[in-house]
Amino acid sequence: MDWGLILNNTLAWVFMPETIAYAIATLGLAVHFGYGGLLNFGQAGFMALGAYGYAISVLTFGFPWWGGLLVGVVAAVVFALILGLPTLRLRADYLAIATIAAAEVVRLLFQSTIFDDYTNSADGLGGYHESFRSANPFPPGTYGFGPWTWSATDLWVRVFGLILLGLALLVVWLVMRSPWGRVVRGIREDEDAVRALGKNVFAYKMQVLVLGGVLGALGGFVVALPSAVVPAYYLPSLTFFLWTILLLGGAATIFGPVLGSLLYWLIMAFLANVLPALASTGMIPGLNNPSQAGNLRYILVGVALILIVAFRPQGILGNKKEMTFNAR
């Protein structure tokens, strides 16, 4: 086994666009669940809207890249309103059911042949990069070192992704330490108590749903930046990867999603490199097909999610004191 190569391939994921994208989208989940107490199991739907909003606007309507980004954000806002209006007055569980179904509806609409002219159905969309790349401030060349060696395009994608992540962190941090955030956390604890104090609980929950959803869309946009938009990417399993990241890092924390995403992708990349190597040397009993071995990691993700929930529900960055009260 070439450990140097494995290490190199793993560390490359520290600045991978997907790592950044998952951090942003998971921050959205933290806003929903960690702060607002809203159970959103459809974050993949918001991400799909961000990605498709961008790609379709650019490809079909000739929007500049930033116009496409805005379209994705607006689509997420509209989606949040449609989801929230009927469900936010009901108990939290109903939102959970509605989100998982609605996200699937979104994905299936993009995948179906009805809108083939716009979505290219199951094959997805590509080749929308020109506008974004032409805005690249970095002159052509090679940047960075070691595992982090990038072309100018790669660098631009990562830098822009990090700018979005930084802005998202700043906004969530500012707003959660404000009186607005206090009301939102109060609603997480007991809606009726907050209502009795004269706060429009429904409006706050709607704002929370929109904010977290927009972050999901931004995450989808960053996923789409370097590659293509394929409907099969936005399966419910994507949402559950985000939940794993959220619970790993800590649900009601600002940097939990960043740390969680980093750890998640480093572990996934490590396993993706190590498991096939182990399998080909016959070290995993019953598994000698390297590609099968790569899939083993998704099983491990599921097991990890269960273990986190059982043994460290507050996540790595979560407040232990807070959780001792929650585990009553």
Which residues of the chain form contacts with other proteins (CB under 8 A)? 171, 174-175, 178-183, 185-186, 188-190, 192-201, 207, 211, 321-322, 325-326
Task: Give dist(CA 116, CA 78) in Å, integer.
Answer: 22
Instruction: Give the nearer residue to other proteins in terms of CB position, either 142 or 324.
Output: 324
Instruction: Give the nearer residue to other proteins in terms of CB position, either 198 or 286.
Output: 198
C-alpha 147, offset from chain centre? 24
**Nearest distance from residue 252's CB to other proteins, in Å?**
8
Instruction: Give the nearer residue to other proteins in terms of CB position, either 195 or 312.
Output: 195
Local structure of residue 229 (DSSP, 8 states): B
Q: For 238, list phi and psi in degrees, rounded to 5.
A: -60, -45
Place of tokens 């990605």: 51
**Nearest distance from residue 34's CB to other proteins, in Å?**
11
- The DSSP code sequence of 56-73 is HHHHHH---HHHHHHHHH
b/e 226-236 (16+ beta carbons within 10 angstroms → b): bebbbbebbeb
Instruction: Give the nearer residue to other proteins in terms of CB position, either 82 or 193.
Output: 193
The beta-strand segments (E) located in 63-168 are: 142-145, 148-151
Q: Report yes or no: 112 and 121 within 8 Å, Cβ to Cβ.
A: yes
Task: Give dist(CA 211, CA 214) in Å, integer.
Answer: 5
**Nearest distance from residue 25's CB to other proteins, in Å?**
20
Instruction: Give the nearer residue to other proteins in terms of CB position, either 91 or 133.
Output: 91
**Nearest distance from residue 73's CB to other proteins, in Å?**
15
- Nearest of 229, 238, 212, 221 to residue 72 by alpha carbon: 221
Task: Give dist(CA 233, CA 29) in Å, integer.
Answer: 18
Instruction: Give the nearer residue to other proteins in terms of CB position, either 133 or 177.
Output: 177
Task: Give dist(CA 220, CA 49) in Å, integer.
Answer: 7
Instruction: Give the nearer residue to other proteins in terms of CB position, either 201 or 259.
Output: 201
Instruction: Give the nearer residue to other proteins in terms of CB position, either 194 or 274.
Output: 194
**Nearest distance from residue 102's CB to other proteins, in Å?**
23
**Nearest distance from residue 203's CB to other proteins, in Å?**
9
Angle between helices 43-61 and 201-224 (to 10 degrees): 60
Read off the amino acid at residue 82: I
**Nearest distance from residue 200's CB to other proteins, in Å?**
5
Instruction: Give the nearer residue to other proteins in terms of CB position, either 202 or 240.
Output: 202
What is the longest distance spanned by two Cα atoms in the chain? 66
Q: Report yes or no: 188 and 37 within 8 Å, Cβ to Cβ.
A: yes
**Nearest distance from residue 132's CB to other proteins, in Å?**
27
**Nearest distance from residue 185's CB to other proteins, in Å?**
6
**Are β-strands 148-151 and 142-145 bridged in parallel, bridged antiparallel, or unpaired?**
antiparallel
